[in-house]
Amino acid sequence: MRELEKITLNGVRYIVWDEARGRAPRRNGIALLLSAHDGVGADVLLVLPKGRPLALRACAGDGSEIAVDDGARRAASLALRNLALLAAGKEIVAEETADRVEVRLTDCFCTRLFAADKRARIAG
């Protein structure tokens, strides 16, 4: 099982993927993850690279990489703060300006995420 955070700021839904806990999917897997029909329904995937959280990447619903804006930076900051609080055994305090939901992906769904990328590489 894989745990992610879904943070909504100003109407934009962000999924935050911390690569310290496992690599992020590629383009087709990202599109599947963000899909409202087959995935968790979000607008942007934020990827926090392992050991380099300041090298934040953002991906759109089609899996393409997009510019990191202020909203994405704020969502990533909230996610990093929440990870630090959880690691310290403290309770996460909700902010009035952001909605936070914990998302748990099953092993089966994670397999589908990475299989989508594998199929694209074979076909391409």
pLDDT of residue 91: 72
User: What's the pLDDT score for residue 82?
Assistant: 74
- CA-wise closest residue to 46 among 26, 80, 69, 76: 76
Q: In this model, does residue 124 exceed pLDDT 60?
A: no
Place 57 in a pLDDT band, splitting at 50, 70 and 90.
Answer: very high
- Write down the mean pLDDT value for the chain: 86
The predicted-structure confidence for 86-116, as pLDDT tens digits, reads as follows 667 777 666 656 788 889 999 999 999 889 8
Which of the four pLDDT bands, split at 50, 70 and 90, describes residue 40? Answer: very high
What domains can you pick out in the chain, each with its CATH number?
2-123 (3.10.310.10)
Say what the pTM is.
0.85
Contact 45, 103 (CB under 8 A): no
> Residue 58: exposed, middle, or buried by beta-carbon count in 10 A (0-12, 13-18, 19+)?
buried
Average pLDDT, integer, range 1-8: 88
- Asked if the model's pLDDT at residue 85 lies above 80, the reply is no
Q: Is the pLDDT of residue 121 over 60?
A: no
